Amino acid sequence: MGLMVDTNKGMLTGLVGSVVFVKGKNGEAIVRSRPMRNTIKPTPKKQQSCDRFAVVGAFIKPMYPFLKVSFTDWLKKRTARDAVRSYTLKNAVKLEQGKPVIDYPKFLISTGKQRAYQAVQQHRADKELVLEWQPDSTQAFAQSDDLLSVVGYAPQTSEYVFFEACATRAAAQVQLELPKALAEAPVHLWATFSTFSGDSYAYSTYLGLL
């Protein structure tokens, strides 16, 4: 049915047949098609594509406050959000038993031109994580005051941990304490360096499952 609104000009609103009349932001009448429920079952390929989007969206959402700052190379995309989503969908998803899952070694927590983290060794004992890296700041895009950030993800509990600006490049090592809840849970870890001002990052380095 249609309903005539009592305004100076008069405006038709509501459902009329297969169309819907609504009021726009500027007061003008807008005509839209009546929404129809889609009962067509998606093809296996389309369903897999939807599953990929869902897996990626759920994984990166808790990280996004960090990622929107750390993706300083937008990979020819318009925004950091587009760069994160596009890169992950294309490069960091794989199939296991026909279902999409995150390919952790290929996932990036940052992009940019700074010199990347070069691991020397790392080990973990309960909650304590010890990292050592190459501190060389004589090469291009590396400064002694570059700041280290580490991000972890525990797949068993779907928990994330962030250690932002936790050491300088020159320090060459750092000891980090994981939350008590992750004391016995394996954690995927990534490390990256940023400039002291935080305006540029490196392409991150995957440290493994510790």
Per-residue pLDDT of 147-177, as tens digits, reads 999 999 999 999 999 999 999 999 999 999 9
> In the Cβ-directed half-sphere of 121, how many Cα atoms lie within 13 Å?
2
> In the Cβ-directed half-sphere of 6, how many Cα atoms lie within 13 Å?
0
At residue 39, the 3 state secondary structure works out as coil
Domain boundaries, the chain: 3-33, 44-209
DSSP structure string for 188-199? EEEEEEE-TTSS
Q: pTM score, two decimals?
A: 0.80
Write down the CATH number for the domain with range 44-209.
Answer: 2.60.40.10
Position with higher pLDDT, 3 vs 131: 131
- Look at residues 98, 187, 107, 198 and name the one whose alpha carbon lies nearest to residue 146: 198
Contact 78, 30 (CB under 8 A): no
- Residues β-bridged to residue 125: 128
Q: How confident is the model at residue 6 (pLDDT cuts 50, 70, 90)?
A: very low
Dihedral-angle region of residue 55 (phi above 0 means left; psi in -120 to 50 means alpha; beta otherwise)? alpha
Q: How confident is the model at residue 46 (pLDDT cuts 50, 70, 90)?
A: confident
